[in-house]
Amino acid sequence: GNSVTQMEGPVTLSEEAFLTINCTYTATGYPSLFWYVQYPGEGLQLLLKATKADDKGSNKGFEATYRKETTSFHLEKGSVQVSDSAVYFCALSDQGGSYIPTFGRGTSLIVHP
Amino acid sequence: DVKVTQSSRYLVKRTGEKVFLECVQDMDHENMFWYRQDPGLGLRLIYFSYDVKMKEKGDIPEGYSVSREKKERFSLILESASTNQTSMYLCASSSAGDRGTDTQYFGPGTRLTVL
């Protein structure tokens, strides 16, 4: 079956630091990969996605590259802000398979001024 | 702007009560989902619906049922609430278009406390 593994949090950084949140996956088919973000008190919202190998998704200064050879989709940002404090979820969906995505457990990011 | 709304942000119920959580989406999406979110456990799927009156059990359906009488509305029912159902409940929807590439759109969540 499919699975997504994320680094455990919380990740605590100072403002303007570099961020990496690791995500690796196993999939039986050919997945699309997603990062969702959940700000305090809100539901999840899509941050970025990639649908084929070597694609890079990007949004709001965040980037992630679909690496088929290492089955990874690590999230990066060059300079985090306090407003980036949130929980980040990596997810995958099987293209041509089930409509039900597989989510990682989430990684909490705390950014201090 | 796409929207998924949930009937309540916070709800407090007593053990044994029947609880209804309502979710409405305005995007004409075929798929709708109910998840619960607990610290350290991430998101767990309770039920999934791919069409009106159609449903599939998720990972943790015990103690829950669902209803989808109209395309835009998906209800989660706790037949007899118990304290271990205290949690954050998230509704989501997605299109049945390009299978596997579609984004899930989430509501703001309902934080349910069962006393």
| Residues B77-94 pLDDT 10s | 999 999 999 999 999 999
Query: Could you give phi then psi for residue B83, rounded to 5 degrees?
Result: -60, -30
- A106 in reach of chain B (CB within 8 A): yes
CA dihedral B100, B36, A89, A81 (to 10 degrees): 140
CA angle A72, A74, A78 (to 5 degrees): 155
* Residue-level pLDDT, tens digit, chain A, 113 residues: 889 999 888 999 999 999 999 999 999 878 999 999 999 989 999 999 999 999 999 999 999 999 999 999 999 999 999 999 999 999 999 877 778 899 999 999 999 99
Residue type, B32: M
Short-list B45, B61, B42, B60, CA closest to B94: B45
A16 φ, ψ (degrees, to nearest 5): 80, 0
Q: Which among A42, A49, A97 has CB closest to B103?
A: A49
Beta strand residue intervals within B1-86, DSSP E: 4-6, 10-13, 19-25, 31-38, 42-51, 54-57, 64-70, 73-78
Q: Count the neighbouring beta carbons within 10 Å of the beta carbon of residue A31.
A: 28
With beta carbons under 8 A apart, name residues in chain A contacting B27.
Answer: none
For chain B, residues with pLDDT lower than 50 are: none
Nearest alpha carbon to residue A90 among A32, A43, A41? A32
How far is Cα A36 from Cα B90, in angstroms, rounded to an integer? 14
CB contact under 8 A, B104 and A101: yes
Please tell me which of the candidates B96, B101, B106 has its beta carbon nearest to residue A32. Answer: B101
The phi, psi pair for B85, rounded to 5°, reads -100, 5
From the CB of residue A53, how many other CB atoms can be counted at a distance below 10 Å?
12
Q: Is A2 an interface residue toward B (CB < 8 Å)? A: no
